[in-house]
Each structure stands twice: as structure tokens, then as C-alpha cells.
């Protein structure tokens, strides 16, 4: 017999974490547990107001599935019970974990992988003054890739200061919908000169049709514009890369299908995350295998991580142990 439980948790960030839309000092996550006999599966997700989600609404969505989940609903059935988003993600990942615990087959093998490799994640520097971002970049200069939050004006000064502080590190910039098309046209050539590898979500999702026909000197990556396969054809006309997140897709099941569909269209893939603990990163490590860009630094942005968590050395994430997930 199965039982479903859900709770919310708060985890403080390591200082202010600011993007173009605002700042946060803690993350508020959902944790779902599904038990069946001696086995327990867990999943974690982060409701995101940008996507119209609230913690209260997401908890209600999870609770509404209890009867079906406790009656034995599979991951395929779950896709019909809830739409994409944080609630379905937590449930989907808990079901993946439960299946692994019951069968003794690791989740990565069930996902069709021959093995799961350690990954190098980028490390995010929140939007701040050029001086403060340069200071943070200097402290993180040994990391292989930094993601810089921009979109607040003076962006070129910020990126130039970071490049001077970390001359050998690969850079991504993430505008979180904070630029206009005019500003992108002016900024992109200068970012190319600074060696920026990717510009993530430069325009508001509602306005990114303007990107069709634009040949950016730096590859563009869709984030807020892409949730599931439903938006993929539009994104393929506007972007070179897509940021796939389990919270947006509504779980690992849809995220893997989205990744395969993106590959069919010749798109690069970033495996991304919300700021969250290792329990949320663990299933995303399956998605991130073979991705051109890995952004699973959520636990590195917290004061402390879940125990047990992922083993992390610098920017290297080791595959999750079964005690954590999968």
C-alpha cells in the first residue's frame, strides 16, 4: 500500500541572490514523499511566481493527486493528472525514486543511460554592481564557467569587470527577460568580444518573436520561453539552445522527452535548475548527461545543503547516492 505526504521547507541563500526581477534571501521548496512498504521515494521542487505558481497552490495540486497516487498511479498517469510545473515535478521525481528503490535498478539506468558521469556545473553570480560582481568573480575564478545575472542597466560594465577578474573562465550571461531588442543588438557584439559563450533569455518571452531572423554574434538560449515540448518549435526558430528545467517541464519524465525533441531540431541543451537543495539536483543530473551547458549549482548558492546531499568538489558534481535519490 502506498502513502503520499507533502511538506514545504525554507532554505536560506548564501547572501542576497538577485536577478533582473528582484532578490531573494531564501528558497521555499516542496518535498514529496511516496512510501510503499519499506521503500520511500522523494522529490523536491520550487514553485515559481514568474510561472503563476504559489506554494499554497502547488501544495493543493499535490494533495489533489493523493487518491490516484496512493492507488498506484504511474508516472505516465501522472502526466494526465497535472499540467507542467513544480507540483508535478516533485511527484514525478518521487515516483522515479520509488521505482528505483523498489526495483534495485538505478534511475539513470531506467532512463536508458549506460552509466552516469560526474558533471561540471557553472556557478551563478547574482546581479550587483560591477565592483561587487568582479569581487565575486575573482573569488570564483578557478571555476570552469560562471553565469552572470544581468538586465539592470550598466550590463556591459558588469561583464567587463567580471572578465577582467576571471580572464580564463567561460562566461554565460542570463538576462531573465530583462533586455529589449534594441539593447540586445547593441550589447551582443560587445559580449562576443568579451568571450561570452551564451546569452540566456534576453527578451521577455511574450516578445521573443522579434528574435526570428536575428543572427546573434553570441548564441541565444531560451529559458522562460520554454517549458515543455509545446513551445519547442517556436523556440527552434528563435534560439540556438534551450534551458530545460525539471520545475518548468513538470518532472524528469517530460524533461527527457523535451531534451530528445530538442536534439531532433539541432538545438543545444542547457540543463538548468532553480535554487534548491541536492534533492532537486539529483534527478536533473540524469537530464544533464551530454548537455552542452550544465547549470545545477543550486546547493552552492545555499547556506547549507540537505544531508545527505550530492558530493560536490569545486564545480564537480558526483552522481547521487541512493540514500539521496535514485
Query: Which residues belong to the active site?
Result: 149, 245
From residue 295, how far is each of 67, 75, 243 by CA, in Å?
Answer: 35, 25, 9
- Say whether the peptide bond before residue 323 is cis (omega within 30 degrees of 0): no
Do 178 and 203 contact (CB within 8 A), yes or no?
A: no
Rg of the chain over Cα atoms, rounded to whole angstroms, equals 19
The grid coordinates listed for 101 are: 528503490
From residue 221, how far is each of 29, 204, 285 by CA, in Å?
Answer: 26, 13, 19
Distance CA 281, CA 284 (A): 5
Distance CA 253, CA 89 (A): 9
Distance CA 320, CA 326 (A): 7
Nearest 5°: CA angle at 179, between 256 and 58?
A: 45
Q: Which residue has the cell 569545486?
A: 314
Do 6 and 55 contact (CB within 8 A), yes or no?
A: no
Nearest 5°: CA angle at 117, between 13 and 297?
A: 15
The grid coordinates listed for 199 are: 546569452
For the beta carbon of residue 264, count every other beta carbon within 10 angstroms.
10
Amino acid at each position: 500500500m502506498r502513502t503520499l505526504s507533502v511538506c514545504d521547507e525554507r532554505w536560506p541563500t548564501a547572501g542576497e541572490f538577485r536577478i533582473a526581477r528582484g532578490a531573494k534571501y531564501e528558497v521555499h521548496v516542496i518535498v514529496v514523499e511516496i512510501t510503499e512498504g519499506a521503500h520511500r521515494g522523494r522529490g523536491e521542487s520550487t514553485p515559481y511566481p514568474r510561472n503563476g505558481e504559489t506554494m499554497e497552490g502547488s501544495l493543493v495540486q499535490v494533495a489533489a493527486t493523493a487518491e490516484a497516487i496512493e492507488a498506484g498511479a504511474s508516472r505516465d498517469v501522472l502526466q494526465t493528472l497535472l499540467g507542467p510545473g513544480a507540483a508535478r515535478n516533485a511527484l514525478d521525481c518521487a515516483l522515479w525514486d520509488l521505482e528505483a528503490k523498489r526495483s534495485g535498478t538505478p534511475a539513470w539506468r531506467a532512463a536508458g543511460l549506460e552509466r552516469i558521469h560526474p558533471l561540471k556545473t557553472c556557478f551563478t553570480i547574482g546581479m550587483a554592481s560591477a565592483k561587487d560582481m568582479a569581487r565575486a568573480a575573482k573569488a570564483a575564478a578557478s571555476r570552469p564557467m560562471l553565469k552572470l545575472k544581468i538586465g539592470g542597466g550598466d550590463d556591459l560594465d558588469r561583464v567587463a569587470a567580471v572578465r577582467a577578474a576571471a580572464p580564463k573562465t567561460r562566461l554565460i550571461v542570463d538576462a531573465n527577460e530583462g533586455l529589449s531588442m534594441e539593447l540586445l543588438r547593441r550589447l551582443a557584439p560587445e559580449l562576443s568580444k568579451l568571450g561570452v559563450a551564451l546569452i540566456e533569455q534576453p527578451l521577455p518571452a511574450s516578445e521573443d518573436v522579434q528574435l526570428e531572423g536575428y543572427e546573434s554574434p553570441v548564441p541565444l538560449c531560451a529559458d522562460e520561453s520554454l517549458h515543455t515540448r509545446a513551445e519547442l518549435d517556436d523556440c527552434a526558430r528563435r534560439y540556438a539552445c534551450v534551458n530545460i528545467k525539471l520545475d518548468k517541464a513538470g518532472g524528469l519524465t517530460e524533461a527527457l522527452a523535451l531534451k530528445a525533441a530538442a536534439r531532433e531540431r539541432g538545438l543545444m541543451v542547457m540543463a538548468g535548475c532553480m535554487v534548491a537543495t541536492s534533492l532537486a539536483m539529483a534527478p536533473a543530473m540524469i537530464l544533464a548527461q551530454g548537455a552542452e551547458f550544465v547549470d545545477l549549482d543550486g546547493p552552492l548558492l545555499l547556506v547549507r545543503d540537505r544531508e545527505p546531499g550530492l558530493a560536490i568538489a569545486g564545480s564537480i558534481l558526483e552522481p547521487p547516492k541512493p540514500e539521496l535519490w535514485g
